[in-house]
Structure 1
Amino acid sequence: MRLMPLAAFALATACSPGDHAPEAEAAAAAPLRAETAAPPERYTLTIERGGTTILSERVTRTAERMESEMTAGPSEGRLTYTAELNPDGTVSRLDGRLAEAGAAAQPAANARLSVVLRGDSAFLELAEGDSTRRERMGVAPGTIPIPVSEAVAVLEQYLHRARAMGGPTAEIPVLTLEKGVKTGRATVTFTGADSARVVFQGEGSTTEIHARTDAAGRLLGARVSGSGLVIRRTPAP
């Protein structure tokens, strides 16, 4: 399993001069939050098949922010991303940085992506080397962006959002940023006090995940139907 190449971050069009980059929108997009004394949770989420780890994601999470570092082996590069979280489980901003393997001395081989969500709009900015592209697109309110399909910490955010929405089933609009910018939908159905089924529908594809969870929406483990893939959660060392 490979982390996405730089081209997968590409945006289709530049925004008009009247549009604003994520930096200009961030202050308006992020709600005021009360300070919390709760310590951050630190843990690792892994994707495995047959006992072999395919991808590892180190996560640090508070009520207001989630940070992740994804690696899929020394030759696959590293993706780091952060998400600013709202009390209702939605995301106000996501920033991602992809460093290709061996790119430490090659700044042009790194890409940075920012997405700010405000109401029914998403403001996207891609910086790659000396080039910066921007796009503004319409989205459903409450949309949660996901940088790559293997970003398990964002799957966990679907569960947090579904718990906050209440009820046995929640429909969550999704903005996928892998291989172009596309919209999708995640349907979370709680099948028990500690279990949920998550069905992600994108353009021409459907993925079904059976997850173990808790009352807060933590992802405790999962299996991906028909793939042999399992997701495990372990405390940070």
Structure 2
Amino acid sequence: MNPAIRSAPALAAAGILAAGPVGGQTSTESGTFILVQDGRVVATETFSRSADRLETILEVVSQVRMATTATLGEAATVERLEVRVYPTGRQDGEPLQTSAAVLRGEELRLEEPIGTPAGPPRAIPRATLPYLDPSPSHTEQILRRARAVGGDTATIQVWMPGPGGGRVVGARVRFEGTAATLHLDGVRMDIETDDRGRLLAATVPGQQISIIREPR
């Protein structure tokens, strides 16, 4: 993850937490991530996760508010990601911008805005995940995918939105018990996790950022 607080890109993704089935039905877990830099809260992200759906609201202080909905596939993959961008602090009304990424097999297509015909396909590695900086939910999805792949180390392909259709980079994950180290786009993150790949807490030493999850 690269949670440097930058101007937010147009596309985002995914969320958090999983719980076991209750009464034969899939339950939903929800909570909040708090990003603190140099003692200041710089962003918050609320999330809700079920077996096949992930929803997040990311608010970067004094910058932007983004609502995302991800359709989840097998083995912690993401099949579709919808993003709606609002002015910071506004809770309703029409979004300023919408977009969607559709990831199928080895192709990525973009809808800009949502519901319009998708653009030409872009070749990507199979099982590439979309990622939004500085979203902890996106980081957790990378961890979950790495757990699904198996082993102590894994490289997960990640699509980062940006000019010219964005770019694909490799996210390197290493697990040591309940600890994980993630290297993404030149940034290292030290993470407390579990056997499901949930992000319980994290720090980014090079940027003086800590991430708190409530509830854990």
Same fold (TM over 0.5): yes
Matched residues in 2 for 1:84 and 1:70: separation?
Answer: 17
Partner of 2:70: 83
**CA drift at 1:77:** 2.6
**Does 1:98 find its partner at 2:85?**
yes
Task: For CA contacts below 8 A with separation 6 or more, give which structure has more relative contact order.
Answer: 2
Match of 1:158 among 139, 142, 166: 142
Which has the larger displacement, 171-180 or 87-96?
A: 171-180
Which structure has the greater CA radius of gyration? 1
Partner of 1:125: 111
Identity of aligned residues (%): 29
**CA drift at 1:179:** 4.5
Match of 2:60 among 50, 67, 72: 72
Contact 1:198 1:208 in 2 (8 A): yes
Matched residues in 2 for 1:187 and 1:161: separation?
Answer: 11
Partner of 1:18: none
Matched residues in 2 for 1:87 and 1:174: separation?
Answer: 16
Matched residues in 1 for 2:26 and 2:7: separation?
Answer: 32
Partner of 1:142: 127
Contact 1:127 1:133 in 2 (8 A): no
Which has the larger displacement, 162-171 or 132-141?
A: 132-141
Matched residues in 2 for 1:170 and 1:87: separation?
Answer: 17
TM-score w.r.t. length of structure 1: 0.76
Alignment of 1:170-181 (within 5 A): 170-180=154-164, 181=166
Matched residues in 1 for 2:83 and 2:201: separation?
Answer: 24
**CA drift at 1:86:** 1.6
Contact 1:125 1:135 in 2 (8 A): no
Match of 2:98 among 112, 130, 133: 112
**CA drift at 1:49:** 1.6
Gaps of 5+ in 2: 12-23
Contact 1:9 1:126 in 2 (8 A): no
Any idea what SS the aligned residue of 2:122 has?
A: strand
Which has the larger displacement, 172-181 or 214-223?
A: 172-181
Match of 1:41 among 29, 45, 48: 29
Matched residues in 1 for 2:210 and 2:123: separation?
Answer: 34
Contact 2:44 2:60 in 1 (8 A): yes
CA RMSD of aligned residues (A): 2.5
**CA drift at 1:235:** 2.0
Distance change in 2, residues 1:113/1:140 (3 Å): same
Contact 1:3 1:79 in 2 (8 A): no
Distance change in 2, residues 1:157/1:105 (3 Å): closer
**Does 1:9 find its partner at 2:10?**
yes
Structure 1 residue runs of 4 or more that deviate by more than 3 Å after TM superposition? 101-107
Contact 2:45 2:136 in 1 (8 A): yes
Distance change in 2, residues 1:187/1:62 (3 Å): same
**CA drift at 1:104:** 7.8
Q: Letter of the 2:134 partner, please give it.
A: E
